[in-house]
Amino acid sequence: MDFKKEMRILCSWIAHFGDLLLRLLWHLVHVIISLFYFTLGIANALESYLISWGVLKRYRSLHVNKLRYLAIVVESEEAYETSKIIALLQWLADIGVKHVCLYDMEGILKKSKDFILAKVDGAVLYGETHENNKLLDQTHMTLEFASFCDGKEAVAKAANVLFMKYVKSGATDQNQKGHIFTESQMTEALKTIGSGGPEPDLLLVYGPARCHLGFPAWRIRYTEIVHMGPLKSMKYGSLIKAIHKFTRVQQNYGK
Amino acid sequence: MEKDGISKSARLLWKLSCFFRKFIVSTLSVGPIPTHVAFIMDGNRRYAKQRNLKEGEGHNAGYLALKFMVYYCLELGIKHVTAYAFSIDNFKRSPEEVQRIMDLMVEKIEEELSEVDNTYSKMGIRIHFSGNLELLSQPTKDAVKKLMAATAKNSKVLLTICFAYTSTNEIVHAIEQTCQQKLADQMELEEPNSAGKGNHVVVKLADIEKHMYMAVAPDPDIIIRTSGESRLSNFLLWQSANCSLICFSQLWPAISFWHLLWAVLKFQRNYFYFEKKKKQI
């Protein structure tokens, strides 16, 4: 009996030790990964400076006209750093990007849009002048500001618009099995409620992880999503690299 | 004798790799494990081209890769796996290729049902098909329904295969369903036009989400895309607000356990950040 008890104690000790060993190993793996990312960060920073100084020839010619609409997703906590945002927009203006959408989850950038518009040379607000998604203004940089409420909540509002139309049209046959709405009708409904901006070609994410943080779903069907790292360590070279990489992307839209 | 030796060594190697994998899984399980992993299975055709395989062989290899991935997810304790198998936009491809994919699908389903294979059933995997299944041919539709019914009682892992799916179509479909339901509710109350009166909100966000194709599973924690592309291609746009998007340069049939491992490690690195974001919403 005592032997069995001792064996049980021994087994529990072994299990406990094994568990401790696994925990240690897990932490070790994550330390190694952190070191890997740290090294990668240094390499990227170095490459970024080389691009900025024009050392790397392939980044000298940018076909920026391929990038018609750019979206920037900023982590809400970093969105308070308006000076960084303004510097970023200034870089984009220098590169020749004409249409930018700024997004953060909590709408912090939306609140400071007047300040940003005033600080960025010649920037105008994207709005009524750009009906039907036609990006007409080529002389100034047009800025659009979006937040989480322009995503799912906007879809719910648009759904109400469609529902009202559906009820008023009288086509309310309960047995109707066909499709009531089309995707183009949905796009129109989103425009009606003021959330129908164009689809960005490229979305740059400034934050800890590669994630679009609830950017309006309807507008990112075929958008290239690139993680740029935290806003506080943004670099001109990495911006050039991201745009250059985008201009070389081939899309076949399902074909 | 030689043959037997080879099979013995192969068996030993397999057992060793299984043990090693289990050890890695145990180590990984110390940290948080994702609940839902989604895959954008891109690169089957390029894989076939690179290896000079016959047309359609790439998709065959892709199916095998999915099978292995589901098995690895099961080992890791991931409860939900979603695979983007066929987009509505893929109907733009040549009719021959579309037909080949449909035939492959029916063939694999029949294998699963006729117990030639039935790996999924043995592993306790429930298979669910999401998407606009009305767009499929009748034989494909029948096969899909049969497989869903056959695996309905399994509960270890839910494998959702997005077939004839796009996220925008899913949103429109959810709105349609919601509107029809709201209308039916109002007709029961014998006030068919009350919805049109006033400007009060009738359709709520929760109603739409309830009618999504992907309402069967929680929002994904990780979306893995192969073949080096960095776009979502109209996949889970609605559900991926707080989701780690991971790209691998490998083509889908070349994906391995190590890729999944790396994705989970990346998820663990950003786990607390994503949890914080979910709470904000």
* Domain end call among A60, A79, A109: A60
The total number of structural domains in chain B stands at 1
Whole-number average pLDDT of chain B: 86
Please report the DSSP string for chain B in residue order.
Answer: -HHHHHHHHHHHHHHHHHHHHHHHHHHHTTS---SEEEEE---HHHHHHHTTPPTTHHHHHHHHHHHHHHHHHHHHT--EEEEEEEEGGGGGS-HHHHHHHHHHHHHHHHHHHTTSS-HHHHTTEEEEEES-GGGS-HHHHHHHHHHHHHTTT--SEEEEEEEEE-HHHHHHHHHHHHHHHHHHHHHHTT-TTTTTSS----S-HHHHHHTSGGGGSPPPSEEEE-TT--B--SSSTTT-TT-EEEE-SS-GGG--HHHHHHHHHHHHHTHHHHHHHHHH-
Task: Suggest the residue from A147, A163, A190, A224 to mutate for an interface test with chain B (most B CBs closer than 10 A).
Answer: A163
Specify the pLDDT at position B240.
Answer: 93
pLDDT above 70 (res A1): no
In contact, B220 and B240? CB cutoff 8 Å: yes
Per-window interface: B 19-78 vs A, CB < 8 A: 26-28, 30-31
User: Is B135 a member of any domain?
Assistant: yes
Query: Does residue A165 form part of some domain?
Result: no
Q: Which comes out higher in pLDDT, residue B20 or A135?
A: B20
Q: Is residue A105 included in any domain, yes or no?
A: yes
Q: Is B42 a catalytic residue?
A: yes
Percentage of the residues of chain B whose pLDDT score is greater than 70? 90
- The answer to whether A155 faces chain B, any CB pair under 8 Å, is yes
Are residue A140 and residue A206 in the same domain, yes or no?
Answer: yes
B189 to chain A, any CB pair closer than 8 A? The answer is no
Residues in contact with B257: Cβ distance below 8 Å, sequence separation at least 6, in sequence order: B21, B68, B72
- Overall average pLDDT of the B235-257 stretch: 92
Are A32 and A135 in the same domain? no
Mark yes or no for CB contact A30/B269 under 8 Å.
Answer: yes
pLDDT exceeds 80 at position A40: yes
- Among the partner-chain residues A29, A160, A209, the one whose CB lies closest to the CB of B270 is A209
pLDDT value at position B174? 94
pLDDT at A131 over 50: no
User: Is residue B138 domain-resident?
Assistant: yes
B212-245: burial string, b at 16+ Cβ within 10 Å, e else: bbbeebebbbbbbbbbebbbbbbbbbbbbbbbbb
Mutate to test the interface with B, among A28, A161, A166, A250 (most CBs of B within 10 A): A166
Any CB–CB contact under 8 A between B241 and chain A? yes
User: Are A201 and A105 found together in one domain?
Assistant: yes
Residue A201's pLDDT band (cuts 50, 70, 90) = very high
HEC readout, B82-146: EEEEEEHHHHHCCHHHHHHHHHHHHHHHHHHHCCCCCHHHHCCEEEEEECCHHHCCHHHHHHHHH
Residue B162 lies in a domain: yes
Is B227 a domain residue?
yes
Q: Is the model's pLDDT at B156 over the cut of 90?
A: no
Burial of A85 (C-beta count, 10 Å sphere; 0-12/13-18/19+): buried
Statement to judge: residues A16 and A140 lie in one domain: no
Domain that holds residue A96: 64-151+195-247
Chain-centroid distance of CA A3 in Å reads 62
Please count the structural domains in chain A. 2
In which domain, by residue range, is B71 found? Answer: 34-166+219-280
Q: Does B93 touch chain A (CB under 8 A)?
A: yes
pLDDT for position B213: 93
| pLDDT 10s digits, B187-197 | 766 555 555 54
Phi, psi at A54, each rounded to 5° = 75, 20
Contact B192 A183 (CB under 8 A): no
In a domain, A207, yes or no: yes
pLDDT at B78: 95
- Closest C-alpha to A158, from A190, A194, A195: A190
pLDDT for the residue A128: 41
Contacts of A208 in chain B (CB under 8 A): 270, 273
Are A20 and A70 members of one domain?
no
Closest chain A residue to B28 measured between Cα atoms?
Answer: A26
Buried b or exposed e, range A165-192, using 16+ CB within 10 angstroms? bbbeeeebeeeeeeebbeeebbbebbbe
Q: Are A141 and A92 in contact (CB under 8 A)?
A: yes
Domain shared by A73 and A51, yes or no: no
How many residues in chain A? 255
Residue A223 included in any domain: yes
Do A128 and A219 fall into the same domain?
yes
Mean pLDDT of the residues in chain A: 83
Contact across the interface for A163 and B179, Cβ inside 8 Å: yes
B159 domain-assigned? yes
- A50 and A77 in a single domain? The answer is no
Do residues A203 and A107 both lie within one domain? yes
Kindly state whether residue A116 falls inside one of the protein's structural domains: yes
Q: Which one is predicted more confidently, A68 or A205?
A: A205
pLDDT 10s digits, A146-197: 998 889 989 998 998 888 877 777 665 544 556 678 888 889 899 888 888 8
The structure tokens 């989604």 sit at B38
Establish if B245 belongs to a structural domain: yes
Question: What mean pLDDT comes out for the span A228-253?
Answer: 85
CATH of the domain at B271: 3.40.1180.10
Whether the pLDDT of residue A63 is over 60: the answer is yes
- Which residues does chain A have within 8 Å of residue B281's beta carbon, measured at their own beta carbons? 148, 214
Residues A141 and A216 in one domain: yes
B208 within some domain: no
| Given B4, B42, B219, B221, the catalytic residue | B42
* Contact check, Cβ <8 Å, A183/B172: yes
Last residue of a domain, one of A60, A76, A101: A60
Whether residues B242 and A211 touch (CB distance < 8 A) is answered with yes
Residue A164 lies in a domain: no
Q: Show residues of chain A in contact with B195, CB under 8 Å.
A: 163-164, 167
pLDDT of residue B167: 94
Structure confidence at residue B51 (pLDDT): 82
Residues A80 and A6 in one domain: no
A-interface mutation test, from B172, B201, B244, B245, most A Cβ less than 10 A away: B172
Q: Are residues A140 and A82 in the same domain?
A: yes
* CB atoms closer than 10 angstroms to residue B128: 20
Domain boundary among A60, A77, A110: A60
CB contact under 8 A, B201 and A186: no
Least confident of A136-140, B6-10, B148-152: A136-140
Burial class (CB in 10 A: 0-12, 13-18, 19+), A108: buried
Mark yes or no for CB contact A254/B92 under 8 Å. Answer: yes
Q: What are phi and psi of A194, to 5 degrees?
A: 85, 25
Q: What is the pLDDT of residue B108?
A: 86
The answer as to whether A85 is a domain residue is yes
Question: Residue B202: inside a domain, yes or no?
Answer: no
The CA–CA distances, whole Å, from B246 to A148, B114, B223 equal 22, 36, 6
Interface of A with B in 87-146 (CB under 8 A): 105-106
pLDDT band with cut points at 50, 70 and 90 for residue A132: very low
Q: Using one digit for the tens of pLDDT, what is the confidence trace for B76-133?
A: 999 899 999 999 998 988 898 898 788 988 988 988 787 656 677 878 998 999 999 9
In-domain check, residue A159: no
